[in-house]
């Protein structure tokens, strides 16, 4: 068993890419705002986000492996052009919305670091990102960004371990319950949207397919997904949430921006707290925004029936178009600590469709003889679909003033 897990650990990869995107600035902001604003009340959403994120990504991996192609092409062939158009539009809109808000955050944190406050940083980053994506030689820089992010996450983990956690309230927070108000509905949807989002679910179908995995690698895909989304993402979101719930909430600190977050890290990092946090936040944003442009390009190319080759001029034009579109993001009114959770909540609203399609396809015996979902996986997938739809619907109704 241990030898097999060791071999799996050597070969894993696609779900780590997804986990790195999920562990982005939007999730960080959403979970710490939930902890600071509502204490332990939304802990159950944080835990379920890791469970449901693992479920959704494993379903996506199965589609990518069993179909040997991405979800949009599979939908077109299996369900018809109409459904594939709906799914493609849904995925592309959610992905470009995410890119614009992430660019807003990238510009916002750059303004804080440099002291030069201007939305025109977006044009600078549009040029940089275009060059990086076209050349494709950014692996070393991406690894540096991830190293900075890991450093900040370790700080949150240490801070959480040193906090005076109320275990009685932890147990109470594991019981599903929803505080009233629009902000509660927003943050619950945002937390879930960080892990169960149409962009990363769709992206994962292409990642596993690009890796060349076959039916023989299905156990590897399951290990990859559980380790990446269940463990890595779960620890990331839980540690940050507990810092908010155990330290900031009892002190009455309402998180409105980086300053309030940094106050929780100051006992550990001292005067370096702001610099360390901003460096990690910038790195998380920069490394998260790049995959969104690639994901949107794959969605578009798959729907149009074009071969997605990163060396082709057409692919590069789509990438540059997406980057330029994101440069509009910094002109959107509202601070990035406000916009990031909204982006995830809106993304969650578009996610039930892709989960429903994948779940339907994976239960058709004529498509995948002997490889359809097991009943436990179907049960977990059905619960994922129901809860995500409920949280998305509750967010929409709260914004409309119905709740």
What's residue 83's pLDDT? 97
| H or E element, residue 114 | helix 81-114
Q: For residues 166-185, b (16+ Cβ closer than 10 Å) or e, as one string? A: eeebeeebeeeebeeeeebb
122: exposed, middle or buried (C-beta count within 10 Å: 0-12, 13-18, 19+)?
buried
Q: Quick one: 194 exposed, middle or buried, by C-beta within 10 A (0-12, 13-18, 19+)?
A: buried
What one-character DSSP code corresponds to residue 69? Answer: S
Residue 286, token pair as written in the block: 């920069």
Q: Would you tell me how many other CB atoms lie within 10 Å of the CB of residue 394?
A: 18
Q: What angle do CA 106, 294, 98 make, to 5 degrees?
A: 45
pTM: 0.94
Measured CA to CA, the distance from residue 218 to residue 364 in angstroms comes to 18
Residue labelled with tokens 């997804």: 18
Residue-wise pLDDT tens for the chain (403 aa)? 666 665 656 666 788 888 888 999 999 999 999 999 999 999 999 999 999 999 999 999 999 999 999 999 999 999 999 999 999 999 999 999 999 999 999 999 999 999 999 999 999 999 999 998 887 666 666 677 677 788 888 999 999 999 899 899 999 999 998 888 899 999 999 999 999 999 999 999 998 888 888 898 898 899 999 998 999 999 999 999 999 999 999 999 999 999 999 999 999 999 999 999 999 999 999 989 999 999 999 999 999 999 888 788 999 999 999 999 999 999 999 899 999 999 999 999 999 999 999 999 999 999 999 999 999 999 999 999 999 999 999 999 998 887 6
Distance CA 294, CA 287 (A): 12
Which one-letter DSSP state was computed for residue 42? T
* Cβ 177 vs Cβ 44: under 8 Å: yes
Closest among 42, 28, 18, 82 to 264, alpha carbons compared? 28
Going by C-alpha positions, the residue among 13, 7, 28 that lies closest to residue 288 is 28
pLDDT per residue as tens digits for the range 105-138: 999 999 999 999 999 999 999 999 999 888 766 6
| Burial class (CB within 10 angstroms; exposed 0-12, middle 13-18, buried 19+) of 307 | exposed
Helix (H) or strand (E) holding 6: helix 2-11
Question: What is the 3-state secondary structure of 338-352?
Answer: HHHHHHHHHHHHCCH
**Nearest-angstrom CA–CA distance, 372 and 233:** 27
The Cα–Cα gap between 57 and 199 comes to 11
- What is the pLDDT, as a whole number, of residue 1? 64
The dihedrals phi and psi of 71, each to the nearest 5 degrees, come to -65, -35
Structure tokens at 355: 């989960």
Which 3 state secondary structure label does DSSP give 294?
Answer: helix
pLDDT at 150: 83
Spatial CB neighbours of 300, under 8 Å, sequence gap ≥ 6: 88, 92, 318
Distance CA 387, CA 384 (A): 5
Residue owning tokens 């409309």: 400
Q: What number of other Cβ atoms are within 10 A of residue 222's Cβ?
A: 17
Of residues 198, 189, 192, the one with CA closest to residue 60: 198
272 and 75 Cβ atoms separated by less than 8 Å:
no
Burial of 111: CB neighbours in 10 Å, binned 0-12, 13-18, 19+: middle
Taking the C-alpha atoms of residue 359 and residue 21, their distance in angstroms, rounded to an integer, is 23
pLDDT at 5: 61
């Amino acid at each position: 068993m241990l030898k097999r897990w060791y071999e799996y650990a050597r070969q894993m990869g696609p779900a780590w890419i997804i986990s790195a995107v999920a562990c982005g600035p939007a999730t960080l902001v959403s979970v710490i705002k939930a902890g600071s604003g509502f204490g332990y009340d939304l802990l159950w959403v944080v835990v379920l986000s890791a469970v449901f994120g693992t479920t959704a990504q494993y379903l996506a991996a199965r589609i990518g492996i069993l179909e040997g192609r991405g979800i949009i092409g599979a939908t077109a062939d299996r369900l018809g052009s109409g459904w594939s158009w709906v799914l493609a539009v849904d995925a592309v809109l959610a992905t470009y919305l995410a890119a614009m808000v992430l660019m807003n955050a990238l510009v916002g944190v750059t303004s804080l670091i440099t002291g030069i406050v201007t939305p025109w940083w977006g044009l600078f980053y549009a040029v940089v990102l275009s060059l990086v994506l076209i050349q494709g030689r950014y692996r070393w820089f991406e690894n540096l960004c991830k190293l900075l992010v890991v450093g900040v996450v370790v700080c949150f983990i240490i801070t959480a371990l040193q906090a005076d956690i109320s275990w009685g309230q932890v147990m109470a927070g594991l019981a599903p319950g929803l505080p009233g108000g629009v902000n509660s509905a927003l943050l619950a949807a945002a937390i879930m949207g960080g892990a169960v989002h149409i962009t990363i679910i769709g992206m994962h179908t292409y990642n596993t397919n690009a890796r060349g995995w076959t039916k023989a690698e299905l156990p590897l895909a399951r290990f990859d997904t559980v380790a990446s989304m269940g463990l890595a993402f779960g620890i990331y979101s839980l540690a940050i949430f507990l810092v908010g719930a155990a330290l900031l909430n009892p002190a009455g600190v309402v998180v409105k921006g980086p300053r309030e977050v940094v106050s929780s890290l100051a006992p550990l990092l001292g005067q370096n707290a702001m610099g360390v946090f901003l460096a990690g936040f910038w790195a998380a944003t920069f490394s998260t925004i790049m995959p969104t442009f690639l994901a949107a390009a794959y969605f578009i190319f798959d729907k149009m029936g074009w071969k997605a080759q990163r060396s082709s001029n057409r692919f590069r034009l789509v990438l540059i178009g997406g980057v330029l579109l994101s440069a509009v993001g910094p002109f959107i009114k509202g601070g990035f600590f406000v916009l990031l959770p909204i982006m995830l909540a809106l993304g969650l609203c578009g996610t039930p469709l892709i989960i429903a399609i994948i779940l339907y396809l994976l239960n058709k015996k004529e498509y995948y003889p002997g490889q359809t979902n097991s009943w436990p996986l179907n049960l977990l997938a059905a619960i994922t679909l129901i809860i995500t739809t409920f949280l998305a619907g509750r967010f929409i109704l709260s914004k409309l003033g119905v709740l």
